[in-house]
Structure 1
Amino acid sequence: MKHINNIGLSLICLFLCLSLCACQSEEDEAINVINEIEGEDSCEIVSSSSYEYDFTSESVEDIVTTVILTYTDDASQVSYFYEWTGDHDVILYNEESEVLAASTYKVPLNMLYYDMINNGELSDTSLLYYSSESYSAYDYISSNYAIGSSIELSTLQYSSIVYSDNTASLILLNNYGVLEAYDEMYQKYAQMSFDDDFYYNNETTALAGYHIIQYLYEHENDYTQLIENMKLATEGEFLQATTDDYEIAHKYGDYGGYTHDYGIVYTDEPYLVGIYTNQVANSSELISEINNVFLNYTLWKQENSSCS
């Protein structure tokens, strides 16, 4: 009987141990769940007090509008796009407003030629003919090459972007075909189509600009030299006047009271931006100031990205 009692006592002890282990396991699981919940709740949006603008109490769109209204009493004179590639947050304003493109058309025009180089149809040493209809005074190409010359493609591409050379760009445009170039670059890079007058008048929209820069960024390995040229363009002006802390690949346009700039700002996770103005005084400063809002907004969003 003593042996049987010992066995019974052992079984009781084993049962109690198993019960304690089960309870502890359930308790540990409950603690883990609580910790997970508390971890989620503890992720608080970082204050924007260390930035120039208060993004916790006012939308970035309202802040930009306030900036615009310090330059003009008509906000419709400005259109813009913004996308942070970290979360693909896209902001568009007056994006379908048609404006004179000025020199911004030179980016997609050059993209067409880089596509031909990548496809083996041309090389960067291919020669393009400089006709009289491509002449524009006071440019690098018109000052250094005679009408009737044949000029290397790489020279034209560099001058077109870095110097915003109108002669170089017209040589590219006329050798491709004016309507053919405009039609293809808008359909291919912007997935948009316009009538012939839109093309002949060299018009654009912020929405078209957004799609072009988005395409450029998403296919940047196909356009490495173009992007490097854009980083050298009008250094320290327009979008680049905002900061020296980050590289900015951009292309401005300025003609007939229309002043624009668009490109890529290389923060840790870059953002795409384009700002278009129509008859706004001190527009280059306005472009820089709007970009400063977007730069601060991007840095603030990056700091808070773990909470999204």
Structure 2
Amino acid sequence: MRRAAAALLAILTLFLPVLADGEASARGPEDFVAEIMEGGYGFSEANYAVGFMSLYDGETWFHNADEYFKVASVYKLPLNMYFYELENAGELAPDDIVGGVSLEQAHLFSLEFSNNEISERMLDYLGGYAQYKRDILKYIGNAAEDVTDEYYYDNAFTAEMVLNILSYLNAHSDEFEEQLEHMLAAQPDQYLKSGALGVPIAQKYGYERYDGVLHVAVAGIVYAEEPFLLTILTRGSYAAVDAMGELCDAFAEWEAGRAAALRAEAEALE
């Protein structure tokens, strides 16, 4: 038994990130998130939220999970999902006119180019912003149990809500193939794609000033070696655009090592 335990420990050590001096490191998001956001880009602890989910085993990690943040154009992520579901149900067709253009064009302009005018007309088609927020409650999962007036009447979500939206999108990806194609094409080399990872990322991004304060937000499915979901919501600095890429890279490295260690552990116990 001792030999088996020692062998398992040796295997797991192989998958830990290694520092320059050769010592194994178990650094996780509780270390690198603050290092990047606060140490590298000057955000205060209260001015950003992060939500991560592994697509290997469903592991989640949050910073400020339940705090409401203005999300700018990220609201267009569930907005388009809802319209695609109306199409899938036969209630709308791609060539139907919504907001002065075909629905097919509306998806393109809303998701890839983040066109505000067309997206706002899509909201109007549903009956306005508060009705839209009611329509998408199923996407935010358990977080729907704790929504406040801020949810219904402001362009605000929590990191938990956005991560649940991404989880729904990924779990039903066969129903949202066109939406994912638009998100894969959106903003090359920016936001989650601004790092060095170089893998496909389906993202919805946004930035906008509210009462003079800049809010930058992103939500995406990262198709790395070990795929994962990631949302980052910020206020106060456009530098968030670069921080998002660094965080994405760091989560990818951590998740690759974590998943490999879990696989090695499972194999060693067989």
Preserved CA contact (<8 Å) 1:162 1:229:
yes
Q: Identify the match of residue 188 of structure 2 among 228, 232, 235.
A: 235
2:219 alignment partner, SS class: strand
Q: Tell me the residue number matched to 1:135.
A: none
1:59 matched residue in structure 2: 28
Rounded to whole Å, the distance in 2 between the matches of 1:37 and 1:223 is 45
Which among 176, 195, 201 is matched to residue 126 of structure 2?
176
Cα RMSD after superposing both structures: 2.3
Instruction: Please give the residue correspondences for 1:169-248 in structure 2 after superposition, counting only pairs within 5 Å.
Output: 169-178=119-128, 179-185=130-136, 187-191=137-141, 192=144, 194-243=147-196, 245-248=198-201
The answer to whether the Cα contact below 8 Å between 2:226 and 2:256 also exists between their aligned partners in 1 is no
- Letter of the structure 1 residue corresponding to residue 158 of structure 2: T
Deviations 1:163-211 (A, max 9, x none): 00001111211111122211111x1100316345533321111111011
1:100 offset after TM fit, Å? 1.0
* Pairing of 1:63-142 with structure 2 (within 5 A): 63-70=32-39, 71-72=41-42, 74-128=44-98, 130=99
Listed as ranges, the gaps of 5+ residues in structure 1 are: 1-32, 131-149
Matched, 1:45 2:13: yes
Distance 1:226 1:274 in 2: 17
TM norm structure 1: 0.76
Compare 62-71 and 271-280 and name the one that shifted more.
62-71
Cα distance in 1 for residues equivalent to 2:256 and 2:6: 26
1:45 match: secondary structure: helix
Q: Larger Rg: 1 or 2? A: 1
- Whether contact under 8 Å (1:55, 1:297) holds in the other structure is no
How many residues align structurally? 253
Paired residue secondary structure (1:226): helix
The structural deviation recorded for 1:55 is 7.6
Which whole-Å CA distance do the structure 2 matches of 1:195 and 1:223 have between them? 28
Contact 2:216-2:238 within 8 A present in 1 as well: no
Distance in 1 (alpha carbons) for counterparts of 2:243 and 2:49: 12
260, 263, 268: which is aligned to 2:225?
268
Task: Work out whether 1:161 is the aligned partner of 2:111.
Answer: yes
CA drift at 1:40:
4.3
Q: Which amino acid aligns with 2:107?
A: Q
The alpha carbon displacement at 1:57 in A equals 3.6
CA distance in 1, matches of 2:24, 2:157: 31
The one of 242, 247, 250 equivalent to 1:293 is 250
Displacement after TM superposition at 1:118 (Å): 0.8
Larger relative contact order (C-alpha < 8 A, sep ≥ 6)? 2
* 3-state SS of paired residue (2:13): coil
User: Do the aligned partners of 1:77 and 1:280 also contact (CA within 8 Å) in 2?
Assistant: no
Q: 1:55 to 1:49 in 2, by over 3 A?
A: closer
Using the TM superposition, give the Cα deviation of residue 42 of structure 1 relative to its aligned residue in structure 2, in angstroms: 5.0
Deviations 1:30-76 (A, max 9, x none): xxx8986776455333241289xx88343321221111122226211
What displacement does 1:307 show? 2.7
TM-score between the two structures when normalised by the length of structure 2? 0.86
Percentage of matched positions with identical amino acids: 23
Q: 1:157, 1:168 within 8 Å by CA — same for their partners in 2?
A: no
SS in structure 1 of the partner of residue 12 of structure 2: coil
Q: Which amino acid aligns with 1:231?
A: L
